[in-house]
Each structure stands twice: as C-alpha cells, then as structure tokens.
Amino acid sequence: MKLIAVTNGAMKEEVLSAVIQEVVSFVDAVILREKQKSAQAYLEFVKELLNAGVSREKLWIHDRADIAWLTGVDNLHLPEAGLPVEEVKKHFPFMKVGKSVHSLKSAHQAQNQGADYVMFGHVFPTASKQGLNARGIDQLKELTSTLHIPVIAIGGITSGRMGDISASGAEGAAVMSGIFNAATPLEAARQYQKEAVTNDSAL
C-alpha cells in the first residue's frame, strides 16, 4: 500500500525542508500543499528540494501546473475546485494528474476526465476538518469498488488504521498531521511505512 505525505502549510520553510529530506525515504511521495506561498516562493522551494537531492519522482506539486512544468516535476495533484483534469492533460499529456474528491459523483467525474487517481476524504474525523462529518470506510469501499483508477484515502488516518484502509481496496493512504504535526516526523513516517508494508503482505 502506498504512503503519501502531505505538507500542512504551517511549518517554517527551513524546518519543512529538513523534515521532507528526512521522511522522503519512508514514503512513496510528498505532496507540497503550501497554498500560502506565492508562486515565486513555491517555485524556489521546489528547486531547493531538488537541489538538496529529493527525487523528482517523489515530489507531487499541489495545484500549480505551471510550477510542475517549470521544475520538471511530472506529478500534479489538483484540489476538487481546481483546474479541470482534461484541460491539464490536454496541455501537459506527460503529467500524472490526480484530484481530491469528496463525493462519489466528483470521483467519477474526475475519472471520466482522465485523472490518473483520486484522493478521497476525509475518511475519519480529523482536527483539520472540524464540524464536517467524516465520509467513513463504507463510502471509501463503495468508491474503490466502482472506479477503475486508484483511490488514495485521506483524513484522520493513524498508523493503526492503515489496515482498514488496505482492506477497503484503496491503493494508498495520504497523511498530513500524522507525520508533519508529529513530535518526531521521522519516527512517525517509519511507523506508517511499517504498517503499509505489513498490510501489503497481508493481501
């Protein structure tokens, strides 16, 4: 099962850079969800990570197709209200493009537009979505059983819930606070990776 780390947009850049370089070996990808950054600051941050030796294949740009193109990072993750997948694919056919979705309808729409995967959530209650009902495992299972593209689950996923995510048919789990809000992000990433590998072997 894939493990995707998602930055929280709340860390100082030098700290975030160091944490990403620490955890990148233990995850399949890092989504740079830094919406507070200007285009220029985002571009420079991606370049900094690449210059520090972080693999292009493990970086996923959030929302900014232009920055993905300028940096040669061919993985783009779109928010649900972001650019249409089909438009991005038309101009950047070489990019792997995924989309966040919060309903079955949106998921099928993204698939029909050519998305390479969808990220569905929030599956479990999470502090970042206070007051909003979690979608739950049953909706996640319904999604994985009706789509023919990979589904990545997000939202309130602790390392102890990785087994439930795997059993749902999801291809992976995306984790934000569980890694980037942890007291020791490296140890948290290691624990998540251990559970991901364990649940792979259990399938």
Residues annotated as part of the active site: 122
Handedness of CA 45, 49, 50, 52 (dihedral sign): positive
Q: Where are the alpha helices (DSSP H) in 33-184?
A: 39-51, 65-71, 85-91, 104-112, 136-146, 162-167, 177-180
Whether 167 contacts 150, CB under 8 Å: no
How far from the centroid of its chain's Cα atoms is residue 186's Cα? 17
21 CB-contact burial (10 Å; exposed 0-12 / middle 13-18 / buried 19+): middle
In sequence order, what are the beta bridge partners of 97? 76
